[in-house]
């Protein structure tokens, strides 16, 4: 894991804002911190936007475990993340354009399909 790969394990100094870590490593540290904080509500804002596919897959595994039993707000433009949600609210110009389960929204014309067409 990440800790084992660091020169001084958990005691490794990674610099201000984790500058010495890759984007994926910073995301994994954020997941670990959230586990330790044990919040009732999580908010992820474009949480995997800067990650390569391999790092994204690892981070998503951590998120899945972290989200169990918690209210989670996930802000994303990635269809694969939106389709994992129980409920999706599509905003357009600051207003709710569409709201429902991903499968329902995928099955009819509207903002969700327009956003994630392809």
The CATH number given to whatever domain includes residue 47 is: 3.40.50.300
Summarize the confidence of residues 94-113 as an average pLDDT: 95
Cα–Cα distance between 87 and 72 in angstroms, integer?
11
Residue 97's domain spans which residues? 2-115
User: For 4-35, how does the pLDDT look when each residue is reduced to its tens digit (9 = 90+)?
Assistant: 666 666 666 666 666 677 777 777 777 777 77
Which pTM value belongs to this model?
0.67
Return the number of other C-beta atoms located less than 10 Å from residue 70's C-beta.
12
Cβ atoms 59, 48 nearer than 8 A:
yes
Which conformational region is residue 112 in: left (phi greater than 0), alpha (psi within -120 to 50 degrees), or beta? alpha
Query: Number of structural domains, the chain?
Result: 1
> What's the DSSP call for residue 107?
T
């Amino acid at each position: 894991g990440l800790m084992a790969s660091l020169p001084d394990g958990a005691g490794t100094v990674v610099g201000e804002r984790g500058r010495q870590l890759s984007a994926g490593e910073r995301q994994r540290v954020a997941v670990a911190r959230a586990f330790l904080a044990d919040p009732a509500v999580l908010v992820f804002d474009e949480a995997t936007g800067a990650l390569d596919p391999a790092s994204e897959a690892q981070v998503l595994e951590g998120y899945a475990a972290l989200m169990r039993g918690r209210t989670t707000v996930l802000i994303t433009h990635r269809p694969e993340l939106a389709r994992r949600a129980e409920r999706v609210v599509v905003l357009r110009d600051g207003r709710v354009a569409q709201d429902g389960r991903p499968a329902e929204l995928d099955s009819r014309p509207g903002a969700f399909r327009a956003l994630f067409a392809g």
